[in-house]
Amino acid sequence: MTKAADTIQKALAEGRRCLGEYDAKQFLGLFGVPVSKDILAADGDAAAAAADRLGYPVVLKAVGDRLTHKTEVGGVALNVRTAAEVIAEAARLTRIPGCETLMVSPMAKGARELVCGLARDPHFGPAVMFGLGGVLTEVLNDTVFRIAPLTEADAEAMLSGIRAKRILDPFRGEAAADRKALANILMAMGRIGMEHEEVAEIDVNPLKIGPDGLPVAVDALIVLK
């Protein structure tokens, strides 16, 4: 059994029907998807030590099996710049119902936020999704879909298929998005859909484009059947 399959089977055996952010990103990393470097921490002191290792500023998040939409319950602290701030935010986050531990991540740079993922069409099977991300994903509704598996040409066509495709060009002093890296991510989504029937949905939002043009998944959720 592969490590990816083992991760899914372990979650199902524990009665979980989703992989939360930390586990989801670890899973995606097995398929070559670039993900943020995250450290789990039990309390404020451990979170401050993790932040010291990662370097400030950091993002601090509440983590728990029931916390699938952290922003809606105030479970995310952005741009935390000192150990004292980490400890104060940790105290707040651990009081949120359902918070089981904390996660510390580097504060991702870059002005552009995309979304990608996977859904299962009842007739056609796994479909890869790509589009504009961030908090306005549902409002802007600028996404495209393609049935898996994907070739590199398929993935490239998806990149050019959104209305706001110029966001992948050089943007406000930042480099053009690395289209090959983005295409590889979309192909990885298709591969997961083809190889792991237990994966019902994948939601990577945001997929951040750094000033150097490289993408990184800074939040993710995987829903299991």
Instruction: Say how far apart CA 202 and CA 28 lie, in whole Å.
Output: 10
Residue intervals of the chain classified under CATH 3.30.470.20 are 3-35+110-224
- CATH architecture of the domain 39-106 equals 2-Layer Sandwich (3.30)
Instruction: Say how far apart CA 163 and CA 143 lie, in whole Å.
Output: 8
Which pLDDT belongs to residue 135?
A: 74
Which pLDDT belongs to residue 175?
A: 98
Angle, in degrees to the nearest 10, between helices 152-159 and 179-195: 120
Global pTM reads 0.94
Helix (H) or strand (E) holding 105: strand 101-106
List the structure tokens of 192: 């997961």
- pLDDT reading at 141 higher than 90: no
Which pLDDT belongs to residue 180?
A: 98
- pLDDT reading at 29 higher than 90: yes
Output the DSSP codes for 115-168: EEEEEEETTTEEEEEEEE-STTHHHH--EEEEESS--HHHHHHHHTTSTTGGGG
Instruction: Say how far apart CA 5 and CA 51 lie, in whole Å.
Output: 31
- pLDDT band, very low/low/confident/very high, at 59 (cuts 50, 70, 90): very high
pLDDT in tens, 204-223: 999 999 999 999 999 999 99
- pLDDT band, very low/low/confident/very high, at 97 (cuts 50, 70, 90): very high
Which pLDDT belongs to residue 72?
A: 83
Residue type, position 7, single letter: T
**In the CATH scheme, what is the homologous superfamily, with its name and number, of domain 3-35+110-224?**
ATP-grasp fold, B domain (3.30.470.20)
Task: Tell me the mean pLDDT in the region 172-199.
Answer: 97
Instruction: Say how far apart CA 153 and CA 174 lie, in whole Å.
Output: 25
Q: Which residues pair with 130 in a beta bridge?
A: 116, 144
Q: Which residues pair with 125 in a beta bridge?
A: 121
- pLDDT reading at 152 higher than 80: yes
Residue intervals of the chain classified under CATH 3.30.1490.20 are 39-106
Task: Tell me the mean pLDDT in the region 68-82.
Answer: 91
